[in-house]
Amino acid sequence: MRPEILFPLFASITSLKGVGPRVAPLLERVAGPLVRDVLWLQPHSIIRRTPAAVADAVDGQVMTFDVVINDYQRPRVKTHPWRVRVADATGMLTLVFFGRFGDDLEKRHPVGARRIVSGKVEETQYGRQMVHPDYMADPERPVDIPEIEPVYPATDGLPPRRVRQFVLDALEKAPELPEWQDPAWLAREKLPAWREALVRLHGPTGEADLSPLNRHRRRLAYDELLAHQLAMAQRKAARRREPAAKIPAGPLSDRLRADLPFAFTGAQERALADIRGDFQAGERMSRLVQGDVGSGKTVVAMCAMADVADACGQSALMAPTEILARQHYETISGPLAAHGVGVVLLTGRDKGAPRAEKLRAITSGAAQVAVGTHALFQDEVAFHRLQLVVIDEQHRFGVAERQRLQAKGQAVHLIAMSATPIPRTLELTMYGDLDVSRIDEKPPGRTPVATRAVPMPRLDEIVGRLKEAVAGGAQAFWICPLVSESEVSDLAAAEMRAIALRNAIGPGVGLVHGKLSGAEKDAVMADFADNRLSVLVATTVVEVGVNVPNATIMVIEQAERFGLAQLHQLRGRVGRGARESACVLLYDPPLSETAQQRLDILRRTDDGFVIAEKDLELRGGGDALGLRQSGLPDYVFADPFAHRDLIAVAGDDARLIVNRDPDLTSERGKALQVLSELFDWKAGLALRDAG
């Protein structure tokens, strides 16, 4: 399958000069198992080896001098080093060599000879010295000291200079590849050819060449983005070709909506219309519904499930935790049951006869909707006619888990729901193989949550206010994050907080954390939901979707440790009703400027999409929002922030290619096959496949 032209790049690193059994594991740790991976290492900085005067030596810097050898101090004890004194017109320097060099050293570099030495200078009690120079060369001979030397990632036992040699060898092995980019576009953007870009990558002429905005880096980033987008577009197209049952918009859904005490927002209408469009297209749907907590995703999914029930099919709604599954069940079972739709809740806690009863209802089709946790995709669960799978917080499930559930029916439609707001620029890289509906409008009548950042020393004041509020009937969440290395000490901190709050406020303070069993958690949550507890202290287990409408206060300790999106989601737990709500972000002063700005954003807006966008800007990419956990791919060259303009172009480009040349048989298509193989996104993609 792999084109022959790529063989040298996909050969093992042991095919590189000097990579034997000792070096291979080290190089593999730094780069990866393939020559390609070594070729793709990127210098993170450069060392200049322009000769300087010895008098200008700076402690700790890599410097280069043009010197004459003055004399040798041989070691009297074997374990002592050889010391070689050298000098130029401005000063003296001692070169230090450990190990057994013997007379060989002196023979190669006799007293009186002129040498270019380059290495790290150190000021010590023995004077100015250089231990094991990187280079020591005779200027009369052709010298191989690079004027500007790129510095590569390295590891113990494999210094950057060795890595650089392997990189240069890999570069030599890299063939010219057929051009897969549109030549007109390359010319317009003034981007170099692939191989030329790599030559520049490994031969920087200055610091500016290290910037991701450089043309050669943009070229490599674009290749990577296009390969990825192409893989996703192909996948999406393949899924579309799988015929799936057409599901008409039925009357049940309309009757359900008529029963609701509210009207859909415009965004909800659009999302449902998107879903219904997919249902009627006769192709498998893979749609992500993205929207803040409380934006009304579940209600939209319920209408989709009603359409499926109308068409005599079954739906499954899967949530990552038992609490969430239960809440979903409570939200949708009433309205659905009122119209004769059978709904069951299946979790790990169902045992014995009641469980057998539920399984029978799913198998016979008596239950048209099954809500549950991981329990839903176990082998014993068989559906009568599963047509729709709805997955809440989809990134918290593994692909295998999602696929096992979908495999319980034929060409099952998929709706994934996510409350993690993704900046629009990143949507394509994370969900390029899905269709996306955004619910970017909140149901009316919600008052924004008053948000304040308060330094920890003012804790007593906050507790005092909380006490007053609780006396007036309010309920509050108090979040103690899991942040330290040790879960035990974090848990202890949360327990201490609960005790302290009980002392200050009274007995109505509960504690919920990850070490509790599902039943224990549920019991505490139920006490809080039914207002038997006023304050719920929690580590982050207050799962994003949990709904306690009477809670109006959210206190978050060490808010500076959280991602903005996470803070936003936690804040979303309050302010569900018409009553005034408050969110207090407690922080340990002093705050860095960025941390300050981040907390400010939260105070200024409650639009999750805006917050995500700003967070990305402030952090300049990287692991903004903990995006990696939610599925941001691990790119080699592409930087989701620096190259955000390229993401959209690559997405369009990929769609166009797949439309025009789905099997990649044209001239450019063939070159694109090489590109796909080169980046090999298939493996990575399988992990992120939502369908």
Q: Note whether 371 binds ligand ADP by CB under 6 A.
A: no
Give the residue, chosen from 234, 253, 268, 566, that forms a contact with ligand ADP under the rule CB under 6 A. Answer: 268
Kindly report the number of other CB atoms within 10 A of residue 273's CB atom: 12
* Edge-to-edge strand list for the sheet holding 369-372: 343-346, 369-372, 314-318, 386-392, 413-418, 286-291, 435-439
The β-bridge partners of 478 are 537, 555
Q: Note whether 545 binds Mg ion by CB under 5 A.
A: yes
Q: How far apart are CA 414 and CA 403, in angstroms?
A: 10
Q: Note whether 394 binds ligand ADP by CB under 6 A.
A: no
Q: Note whether 437 binds ligand ADP by CB under 6 A.
A: no
Indicate the pairing of strand 62-73 with strand 82-88.
antiparallel
Q: Among residue numbers 462 through 501, which ones bind ligand ADP (CB under 6 A)? A: none
Q: Which residue is nearest to Mg ion (CB)?
A: 545
Q: What are phi and psi of 65, to 5 degrees?
A: -135, 150
Q: How far is CA 76 from CA 79, 93, 102, in A?
A: 9, 21, 12
Q: Note whether 253 binds ligand ADP by CB under 6 A.
A: no
In this complex, which beta carbon is closest to ligand ADP, that of residue 173 or of residue 287? 287
b/e map 117-130, b = 16+ CB within 10 Å: bbbbbbeeeeebbb
Q: Note whether 545 binds ligand ADP by CB under 6 A.
A: yes
Give the residue, chosen from 152, 180, 222, 264, that forms a contact with ligand ADP under the rule CB under 6 A. Answer: 264
- Rounded least distance, CB 627 to Mg ion, Å: 20
Q: How far is CA 509 from CA 494, 499, 528, 537, in A?
A: 12, 8, 9, 7
In this complex, which beta carbon is closest to Mg ion, that of residue 439 or of residue 509? 439
On whether the CB atoms of residues 64 and 53 are closer than 8 A, the answer is no
Which two tokens mark 285? 């749907």
Q: Note whether 293 binds ligand ADP by CB under 6 A.
A: yes
Residues in CB range of 639: below 8 A, 6 or more apart:
212, 221, 621
Give the residue, chosen from 160, 294, 575, 608, that forms a contact with ligand ADP under the rule CB under 6 A. Answer: 294
- Alpha helices in 35-102, H assignment, sequence order: 35-39
Q: Among residue numbers 311 through 350, which ones bind ligand ADP (CB under 6 A)? A: 331
Q: Pick the stretch among 180-188, 235-243, 263-271, 504-512 that binds ligand ADP (CB under 6 A).
A: 263-271
- Rounded least distance, CB 296 to ligand ADP, Å: 3
- Rounded least distance, CB 441 to Mg ion, Å: 16
Binding characters for Mg ion, 292-311, by CB under 5 A (x = yes):
------x-------------
Give the residue, chosen from 119, 133, 291, 608, that forms a contact with ligand ADP under the rule CB under 6 A. Answer: 291
Q: Note whether 299 binds ligand ADP by CB under 6 A.
A: yes
Q: Which does 153 bind (CB under 5 to 8 A by kind): Mg ion, ligand ADP, none?
A: none
In this complex, which beta carbon is closest to ligand ADP, that of residue 481 or of residue 545? 545
Q: Pick the stretch among 86-94, 259-267, 497-505, 531-539 that binds ligand ADP (CB under 6 A).
A: 259-267
- Alpha helices in 472-607, H assignment, sequence order: 487-505, 518-529, 564-571, 593-604
How many residues touch Mg ion (CB under 5 A)? 2
H-helix or E-strand spanning residue 689 = none
Q: How far apart are CA 367 and CA 369, in angstroms?
A: 5
* Binding positions for Mg ion, rule: CB under 5 A: 298, 545
* Binding positions for ligand ADP, rule: CB under 6 A: 262, 264-265, 268, 291, 293-299, 331, 443, 545
